[in-house]
Structure 1
Amino acid sequence: MRRRLPMALFALVAWVLAGCSTATGAAPATPGANQADITFSQQMVPHHQQSIQVANLASERSASEYVKATAAKIVKAESAEVQTMTAWLQSWNAAVLPAAGHAGHAMPGMITEGQVASLQNLTGAEFDRMWLPLMAEHLRNGVAMAKTVLSSGEHAETKALAQEIVENQTAAIGEITAQLP
Structure 2
Amino acid sequence: MPRVTIGTAAAAAVAALLALAGCGGDSGTGRGVPASTTTATSDTRVIEPGRPGETATVIEPGEDIEIVEGGYNETDVRFVEQMIPHHRQALAMAELAQERAQDERVILVADRIAAGQGPEITALEAWLTDRDLPVPPADTEHDHGLPGMITPLQLEQLGNTEGAEFDELFLTYMSQHHAGAIEMADAALTGGMDQPALELATDVSVTQGIEIDRMSELLDSL
**TM-score, length-scaled by structure 2:** 0.67
Q: Does 1:154 align with 2:193?
A: yes
Higher strand share: 2
Quick one: distance in 2 between partners of 1:146 and 1:103?
A: 19
Q: Identify the residue that residue 105 of structure 2 maps to in structure 1.
A: 66
Per-residue CA deviation, residues 70-93 of structure 1 (Å, 9 max, x unaligned), is 000000100011111100011111
Paired residue secondary structure (1:132): helix
- Is the counterpart of residue 145 in structure 1 residue 184 in structure 2? yes
Name the structure 2 match of 1:27: 31
Q: Deviation at 1:147?
A: 0.6
User: How far apart are the structure 1 equivalents of 2:202 and 2:147?
Assistant: 20
Tell me the distance in 2 between the aligned counterparts of 1:78 and 1:104.
19
Quote the residue 1:97 is aligned against. Answer: 136
Q: Alignment RMSD, CA only?
A: 1.8
Paired positions, count: 158
Say if 2:135 is the partner of 1:75.
no
Deviation at 1:150, TM superposition (A): 0.5
* 1:51 correspondence with 2:90: yes
The verdict on how the C-alpha distance between 1:168 and 1:97 changes in structure 2, with shifts beyond 3 A counting, is same
Query: Which position in structure 2 is the counterpart of 1:120?
Result: 159
Within 2, Cα distance between the matches of 1:102 and 1:143?
A: 17
In the TM superposition, what is the alpha-carbon distance from 1:94 to its structure 2 partner?
A: 1.4
Alignment partner of 1:85 is 2:89: no
Matched position secondary structure for 1:71: helix
CA contact (8 A) 1:45 1:86 kept: yes
Structure 2 unaligned spans of 5+:
1-24, 35-69
User: Which ranges of structure 1 fall in alignment gaps of 5 or more residues?
Assistant: 1-20
Are the counterparts in 2 of residues 63 and 125 from structure 1 also a CA contact under 8 Å?
Answer: yes
Calculate the TM-score normalised by the size of structure 1.
0.81
How far, CA to CA, are the matches of 1:111 and 1:96 in structure 2? 21
Q: Per-residue displacement from partner, 1:102-155 (whole Å, max 9, x unpaired)?
A: 753444431100110001100100111111111001000001100110010000
Q: What is aligned with 2:149?
A: 110
| Structure 1 or 2: more helix by fraction | 1
**C-alpha distance in 1 between matches for 2:184 and 2:133:** 18
- Contact conserved, 2:142 with 2:151, CA < 8 A, in 1? no
> Against the structure 1 CA distance between its residues 61 and 103, is the aligned structure 2 distance closer, same or farther, given a 3 Å change threshold?
closer
Q: If you compute each CA radius of gyration, which structure gives the higher value, 1 or 2?
A: 1
